[in-house]
Structure 1
Amino acid sequence: MPSRAARTLLCAALLAVPAIGVTAPAHAATATLTGRVVDSVTGAPITDACVQAIDENWDGTASGCVDSDGRYSLEVPNADLSYRVEASASSYATQYATGHYSWDRADMLTVPGVADFALERSGAIAGTIVDADGQPAPDATVEVFRPGSDEPLSQGSYWNGELLAEVPAGDVVVHVVDGTRSVWAPDAVDREHAATYHVDAGASLDLGRVALPPASGFAGMLTDDTGQPVSDLCATVPTSDQWVWACSDAQGHYSAELAPGSYTVDFQSQNPAYPSIWSGGSWTETGAKTVTVAAGAVTAYDLTVPRGATLTGRVLDASGKPVADRCPQVYLGRTTTYLPTAGGCSAADGMYTVTGVPPTKVTLDVPGGWNNDTWAAHGATQRHARLIPLVAGQTTTIADIRLIAGREATGRVTDAQGHPLEGIVVGPYYTPRAGGAEGNHAITDADGYYELTNLTDSSTSLVAWDLQGRWAPVWTGGSPTADGATTIALPKHGAAQADFTMKPAGTITGTVVDADGKPVTEQFDVSVYSGSSTAVQYGAGGWYDGTGGDFTVTGMPQAPLLLLFNDYETGESFWYGGADQASATPVTVEPGGTVHVTVTRPAR
């Protein structure tokens, strides 16, 4: 937000000229914003007032000053945007439309429109913000409120703790915040006990010295199992909404400011010689011990950090050749707890080195594609992985990890005339509502060909579908839905062949009405299912926005389809034409065609 001083200078500059502005691109339509600026008490026009409008993107502004009757007219550069509008004048508190004093609370106004202002006379609040030891607190933020209101009249930080804030005249309370420390002037711990001050118009109220309370937090020293200091472990507190990142120095010392409470602390390692560790010496958050922080005090908390272990080995492909750029991941025992480490990815010779590993029993996973990981030494799941015992400060070399070979499918996607279709997704998963293709998939090239690798099962069904919804999805065997798909065998060597012929997609549109025939005003998610008794695809769908317009669902195959409407906020759901899925009315769309339906919402 522009500083108050900057806005004052801008207003002074505007007094010398009729109006200034920033033009929008030539294609943007302009609009006019008008209004009047008057005194909030007398209603008289404020003849030295200036007004500025800033658009929601900060790309365009319009500014100008009022005439002798307090009226202004601004031509804003883009009629399609909303604007924050502020009015300033000498001896008056700057105000945002409509009736606000905080940039964050200002209303966003559409144009063309009217924004009138009733400005209040201003006064000033002065004082010095100091720490508990009496030294200035330059990073403190001062907030000024009306009694009983949570909207700031003024908010900011002041050089060297010297407060000087312009506020509307009247009664105020003052809040000072610095990190986790807070005081309500002059010395209250909460707003209920804060003093109410009166600021006179044109006068300055001196608060004197306002002292922040002592900081609270925790601090200590990190040493390893040999007594040496541990540097570059950074204390974080995931269970708190306060940002904490306190790293140990070369002597192992760290300190963190934190509000009173009890916390588990995650010491995240930035040192490749040491593992990350939780308070209490646990490798997991569930096993961590709490650190209690008291108000106005710093809790001493020291921790012994075991030296990290090192894991090395080679990654090979199924034929025994080295594989580069595979990055092993370490897990605690046979659990899903991932252990952050340093280093790791294999080089051209297949060698990898993982450092900073907790000295305990671990399993090692080498990701190799969608659901195609290899666990050391040669397991498809963690259940069959080798448990690797590690010792602090020592290197363990394990047997070569030979990657499990994925299986392949190739083919071509065309239309009914044999023309290749480019950009079609082919894979085991149909996810049109995920914002893109998910899971293992391939995209057809300009000639319609695809190559799908890293398939882990011995057989599968595949689907070809269009991200743009122009072509209807088709499953192996030519089925328009997943429930009719043919399973193809995936050989251990070579690739399975699966070609697809796609038809133009159909479209379903419709309106949702109540029993009286009037369009409903609530919003509903529209999901499309196959005509079988089991929901096959929750993916394809659309949105009914509750404005009385139609919903539109594209990318539809030529098959009996059922429509389900959900309001996730209220939990309401209903099927088109039936009480449940079994009795719902199926809708069939011809290739490239459109079917319109009127959906009657059941009585509630």
Structure 2
Amino acid sequence: MAVAGALLAFGAVSAPAHAEPAALSGTVTAADTGQPLQACVTVYDLSYSWVDSACTDDAGHWSVASTEAGVAYKVAVQAFDGKHVEQWAGGASSFENAAEYVAPATADAALALGGTISGTLTRADGSQGYAWIDVSKLDSGEIVGGASTWDGTWSALVPSGDYVVSFHDGSASQYAYGSETREGATTIHVEAGRTAVVDDTMLGAATVSGVITSDVDGAPVARACVEVKPYPVVPDGWGQGYGCTDDTGTYSIDLSAAGTYTTLVTDPEGRFVAEYNGNTTVAADAAPFTVTHGATTRVDTSLAKASSITGLAVDGKTGAPIEGVCPDAYVGHNGGFAQGQAPECSGSDGRWTLRGLGKGDYALFLSGAHHTSYMAGTWAFKADSQATADLITVGAGENKAIRNVKLAPGGQLSGRITDPFGNPLEGAWVSAEGNTGGRAGPGEGRYVAQTDADGRYTIIGIPAGDYTPVVYAVPWGNLAPEWSGDADTPTDATPITVKATKTSTFDAQLGPAARLTGTVVNSDGSATTEPWDGSIIAADGTIVGSFDVWGGNSFASTALPGGEFKLQLENPDTGQVVWYDSASSSVDATVVPLARGEQKQITIHLP
């Protein structure tokens, strides 16, 4: 990477050691009276990383000396009189819109007089207890204030304007007054220096409960787990509630919202087949049910006995058993990870077992547990992919033993990861297969490792072949992911060859991250009130980043490389997929160009 130019343009990483210090200072006053205020300021760089903080003297003056000449900063200001609202120096209400101050500079702030929203929240049974409250702007959905309560009373200071108030008590969520949806919420008008009172009563939890039993003898199934999912089921979509059965097979789950749902019951011990409501293993065939606030919906399920596959993992040369090898099952030659499977890794005798399977055909992949084995993972039997693996057929309730699976030694990948100034980077993730983890989070994948305090890592047991590894730091941090050869995508990466029993090297110096921030609006320009999962996709189809729209309509992406990207949004509740900007397909999507280290703000319009 070209470090120097990118860093100076980015302004988000500390300047070189020879940079001269230059003070930022200012005065905080009340906009309504002009009088100085007791307040504290926090100075951020342009990547929203903390730089320094200070509080005002009796004259409202503040100063920090750790800022550097020629570097841009933003300043957040907060008063402590309970009357004047927090804002950014220059008058903005958000970091994205805040003025930039290039040190040395004066950053004065005149804080507006706010208004108060307060009230009492009562639970459905008449009691008071813990809850949290969000106050969001009526037009944009931006959350500008919040409060929590243990006794039902609450209060929040906000700028004058029109708002929507939402309540959450851990079992239910609603909007004032008594509405399940934002569209049904009452507009709360707040004037400067005045108090708007918002008292409300919670609607009560929508509860799903039932008993899980065995198809074999009708006996209750303890320790089975139930996930309540919105209906129709969205593949990999969010569940709305989760719980497990007690010794009597009974479960009970409180949902925050009424609606139409189904259940997925799994057995972590692999005794029974995973099953949706309606006695089916197919999500599309699941039976729905309706839940309402303040009521309990009963959903019982009877589970079929599971099948299992077992075998020995042995050294391909010596035939000796291998300890610590774990099995994974995939459906057929092109299906996904088999739902409900419960693997047991091999012991000293090389014996492994895979439980929790329904009848069907499976491709098996065996690899070392937690990346601790020097033996390379393999598809049974000696196949190089799921598409070419020998399928293992099991009948309903069958316990099937298969022939030995032979493993061969793998190679290893090691190296050192540094920051833009050559300092070791601890805690960065390296994936030999070039996967950044995505929504599953960092560390996902078969061949991954995390760097130590000296920035060093080693990945063992990698099958021989060519790889384009990637390194990425904390997804919400300030450093961009980078593929081998200082590339922004796997397509542009320089392949690294891994050979059995040999060590290959991949070093990298990470540069500043690019980032996207913005808002999502409906076709009429109003703020969306629906949740969206966002994926940021490079020209070669690689998902290089993500963002969430939840509890408002604003978003901020994970750390991104430079490049040209398309943005896909999926509604986790309905499965609807849209593309930026107001497109229904990737072909019609608008491309977003980003330079390395660039910070860009956009508005995503839904069709």
State TM-score, norm by structure 1. Answer: 0.55
Tell me the distance in 1 between the aligned counterparts of 2:396 and 2:401: 11
Q: Determine helix, strand or coil for the equivalent of 1:31.
A: coil
Structure 1: gaps of 5 or more residues:
1-22, 410-429, 441-450, 471-480, 483-494, 497-524, 528-541, 546-566, 574-604
Letter in 1 for 2:119: G
Which residue of the partner structure matches residue 135 of structure 2? 143
Which residue of the partner structure matches residue 224 of structure 1? 214
Which residue of the partner structure matches residue 357 of structure 1? 357
Which residue of the partner structure matches residue 589 of structure 1? none
Residues 222/166 of structure 1: CA separation in 2 closer, same or farther (3 Å cut): same
The one-character-per-residue Cα deviations of 1:195-254 (angstroms, maximum 9, x if unpaired) are 5455562x65544x4112122253222111222222333333373556533222332222
Tell me the CA shift for residue 129 of structure 1.
0.9
Count of equivalent residues: 417
Identity %: 21
Contact 1:230–1:251 at 8 Å: present in 2 too? yes
Letter in 2 for 1:363: Y
Residues 196/39 of structure 1: CA separation in 2 closer, same or farther (3 Å cut): same
Tell me the CA shift for residue 24 of structure 1.
12
Contact 2:376–2:463 at 8 Å: present in 1 too? yes
Tell me the CA shift for residue 355 of structure 1.
3.0
The one-character-per-residue Cα deviations of 1:153-210 (angstroms, maximum 9, x if unpaired) are 4212222322133344676553324457444434455456515455562x65544x41
Tell me the distance in 1 between the aligned counterparts of 2:158 and 2:591: 47
Q: Determine helix, strand or coil for the equivalent of 1:245.
A: strand
Tell me the distance in 1 between the aligned counterparts of 2:81 and 2:385: 77
Residues 233/109 of structure 1: CA separation in 2 closer, same or farther (3 Å cut): farther
Structure 2: gaps of 5 or more residues:
1-13, 368-374, 412-431, 438-444, 448-459, 469-482, 488-493, 501-537, 541-560, 565-586, 594-607
**Which one of 397, 403, 408 corresponds to residue 406 of structure 2?**
403
**Which one of 54, 65, 77 corresponds to residue 86 of structure 1?**
77
1:46 aligned onto 2:35 = yes
Which residue of the partner structure matches residue 586 of structure 1? none
Contact 2:226–2:266 at 8 Å: present in 1 too? yes
Contact 2:262–2:276 at 8 Å: present in 1 too? yes
Larger radius of gyration: 1
Tell me the distance in 2 between the aligned counterparts of 1:89 and 1:453: 57
Contact 2:225–2:242 at 8 Å: present in 1 too? yes
Tell me the distance in 2 between the aligned counterparts of 1:439 and 1:183: 42
The one-character-per-residue Cα deviations of 1:82-139 (angstroms, maximum 9, x if unpaired) are 4441141536323221577977777374442443333233454432212222221412
The one-character-per-residue Cα deviations of 1:297-336 (angstroms, maximum 9, x if unpaired) are 4432111122334433323344571331332333446662
Which residue of the partner structure matches residue 391 of structure 2? 385
Tell me the distance in 1 between the aligned counterparts of 2:167 and 2:563: 47
Which residue of the partner structure matches residue 330 of structure 1? 329
Tell me the distance in 1 between the aligned counterparts of 2:328 and 2:280: 19
After superposition, residues 169-180 of structure 1 pair within 5 angstroms as 173-178=164-169
The one-character-per-residue Cα deviations of 1:333-365 (angstroms, maximum 9, x if unpaired) are 66624324324322332222333333x244352
Contact 2:28–2:37 at 8 Å: present in 1 too? no
Tell me the distance in 1 between the aligned counterparts of 2:334 and 2:93: 50
1:247 aligned onto 2:244 = yes
1:132 aligned onto 2:132 = no
State TM-score, norm by structure 2. Answer: 0.55
Which residue of the partner structure matches residue 473 of structure 1? none
Tell me the distance in 1 between the aligned counterparts of 2:39 and 2:246: 53
Contact 1:176–1:182 at 8 Å: present in 2 too? yes
Which residue of the partner structure matches residue 224 of structure 2? 233
CA RMSD in angstroms comes to: 5.2
Q: Determine helix, strand or coil for the equivalent of 2:325.
A: coil
The one-character-per-residue Cα deviations of 1:537-592 (angstroms, maximum 9, x if unpaired) are xxxxx9789xxxxxxxxxxxxxxxxxxxxx9975699xxxxxxxxxxxxxxxxxxx
Residues 161/341 of structure 1: CA separation in 2 closer, same or farther (3 Å cut): same
Tell me the distance in 2 between the aligned counterparts of 1:386 and 1:248: 32
Q: Determine helix, strand or coil for the equivalent of 1:387.
A: strand
Q: Determine helix, strand or coil for the equivalent of 2:309.
A: strand
The one-character-per-residue Cα deviations of 1:502-530 (angstroms, maximum 9, x if unpaired) are xxxxxxxxxxxxxxxxxxxxxxx999xxx
Tell me the distance in 1 between the aligned counterparts of 2:349 and 2:382: 18
